[in-house]
Amino acid sequence: MLRIGLTGGIAAGKSAVATELGRLGAVVVDADLLARAVVDPGTPGFDEVVRTFGTDVLGRDGALDRPALGRLVFGDSGARETLNRIIHPRVRAEAARLIDGSPADAVVVEDIPLLVETHQAARFHLVLVVDAPDETRIARMIERRGMDREDAEQRIAAQAPRGERRAAADAVLVNDGTPEALVAATQALWDIRILPFAVNLVHGRPARTRPPAAPDPRGAELPAGLAGTHGLARRMAAKLTAALPAGAAVEPGPGSDVVVAEVLVRPGPGEDLAAVSAAVAAAGFPRAEVPRGSDAGVHRSGTDTVIHRSADPALDVTVTVLPVGAGVLPDGS
């Protein structure tokens, strides 16, 4: 199963991308829809919201007056954090139930508006960010949602800045053009990167081809959503840290920042190397058979070293799993 975290700021176009990914065959778990469902009348979440914020957030029909609640929390960071503590655990529990019922070979897309704000990026094989300039998003909210400019700006300010979302992104889709262009970019990402990534995971194999380490010298953009991403070794190390036992040490190594990276994993005392290797594979880095004497671009120490490579066809990431006490990646390797 390939797990994708989809996010983007308000009015960036995330919902259009989610719809297209669902049409292409992904299982889409929409956190917005779940966030509504977990506070429907009669649910424990509804009761807790009313106890916390009072009956002023109720409409005449007895359900939550969502615009009133939104105005309350978007202008008050403390109230917003309180509401998030009520809603987010319930949303995650319901999302987990839906994901557990998906096929083993599924592409599961979790549509999470506050993925970055809630520090969830590391649990996904791929984080897809839909991005658009703030002024473009403000204009969309005014034109399409009838908001005034102050309200639109307040909604943007209540979310993570664009730079923080891009720092978490494994792929970026820029939506500053037409809806048709966004759909076409989503389809290309699916064909070139997402579907091959999912197939590689199902078969437990690394990507068969390596991409170039840099953009075309003529200035062409990096393919497959890589333009706008950075900090590759940092992001890959975070995914591995989230997937591995607490005692394992994960050390980012050298790389190109966008396409190529090396990461070193050292199991903790008493940990089983095979179990650690299996966890690395499940995180999106299947084991690679590297012939002895070949130039694998990594440092080996002893016969217990296990080499893994990314199943993502857009990346060239090598993960070296070493036993305790083995060597480290030398500078400049």
Domain end residue (candidates: 158, 187, 202): 202
Check residue 296 and give its pLDDT.
44
The reply, when asked if residue 239 is annotated as ligand binding, is no
Task: Give the Cα-Cα-Cα angle 152, 158, 164 (nearest 5 degrees).
Answer: 110
Q: Is residue 44 part of a domain?
A: yes
What span, in angstroms and rounded, lies between the C-alpha atoms of 142 and 75? 18
Q: Are residues 272 and 179 in the same domain?
A: no
Check residue 215 and give its pLDDT.
46
Q: Are residues 191 and 60 in the same domain?
A: yes
* 8 Å CB contact between 36 and 111: no
Q: Is residue 220 part of a domain?
A: no
The reply, when asked if residue 277 is annotated as ligand binding, is no
Check residue 13 and give its pLDDT.
92
- What CATH number should be reported for the domain holding residue 248? 3.30.460
Q: Which residues of 286-297 are buried (b: 16+ CB within 10 A; e: fewer)?
A: bbbebeeeeebe
How do the pLDDT tens digits run along the chain, 333 residues long?
999 999 999 999 999 999 999 999 999 999 889 999 999 999 999 999 999 999 999 998 999 998 889 888 877 889 989 999 999 899 989 989 999 999 999 999 999 988 998 899 999 999 999 999 999 999 999 998 888 898 899 889 888 999 999 999 999 999 999 999 999 999 999 999 999 999 999 999 999 866 554 444 433 456 578 888 999 999 999 999 999 988 899 999 887 788 899 999 999 888 888 899 999 999 999 999 755 554 443 444 444 789 999 999 999 999 999 876 555 444 444
Q: Are residues 137 and 79 in the same domain?
A: yes
The total number of structural domains that make up the chain: 2
Q: Are residues 102 and 158 in the same domain?
A: yes
Q: Are residues 90 and 196 in the same domain?
A: yes
- DSSP-derived pairing of the beta strands 126-131 and 2-8: parallel
Residue that is written with structure tokens 């940990």 in the block: 271
Check residue 292 and give its pLDDT.
52
Q: Are residues 127 and 236 in the same domain?
A: no
Domain that holds residue 266: 232-321
Check residue 299 and give its pLDDT.
42
Q: Which two tokens stand for residue 276?
A: 């650690």
The reply, when asked if residue 237 is annotated as ligand binding, is no
325 Ramachandran zone, left/alpha/beta (phi>0; psi -120 to 50): left
Q: Is residue 333 part of a domain?
A: no
Q: Are residues 156 and 263 in the same domain?
A: no
What pTM, to 2 d.p., does this model score?
A: 0.82
Q: Is residue 175 part of a domain?
A: yes
Q: Are residues 170 and 249 in the same domain?
A: no
Check residue 216 and give its pLDDT.
44
Q: Which residues contact 132 (CB under 8 A, 6 or more apart)?
A: 8, 9, 11, 12, 13, 140, 174, 175, 176
Q: Is residue 208 part of a domain?
A: no
Q: Where are the alpha helices (DSSP H) in 123-262?
A: 134-145, 149-157, 162-168, 179-189, 195-203, 232-243
The reply, when asked if residue 102 is annotated as ligand binding, is no
Q: Which residues contact 21 (CB under 8 A, 6 or more apart)?
A: 4, 6, 28, 107, 109, 186, 190, 194
Q: Are residues 50 and 155 in the same domain?
A: yes
Strand partners, 111: 6, 30
Q: In what order do the strands lie in the sheet with 126-131?
A: 27-30, 107-111, 2-8, 126-131, 171-174
Check residue 74 and give its pLDDT.
78
Check residue 221 and give its pLDDT.
54
Q: Is residue 211 part of a domain?
A: no
Q: Is 325 helix (H, G, I), strand (E, B) or coil?
A: coil
Q: Is residue 332 part of a domain?
A: no
Check residue 184 and give its pLDDT.
93
* 8 Å CB contact between 2 and 198: yes
Provide the residue type at 77 as one letter. S
Domain end residue (candidates: 202, 223, 242): 202
Q: Are residues 273 and 152 in the same domain?
A: no
Q: Which residues of 4-25 are buried (b: 16+ CB within 10 A; e: fewer)?
A: bbbbbbbbbbbbbbbebbeebe
Check residue 73 and give its pLDDT.
87
Q: Are residues 54 and 130 in the same domain?
A: yes
Q: Is residue 207 part of a domain?
A: no
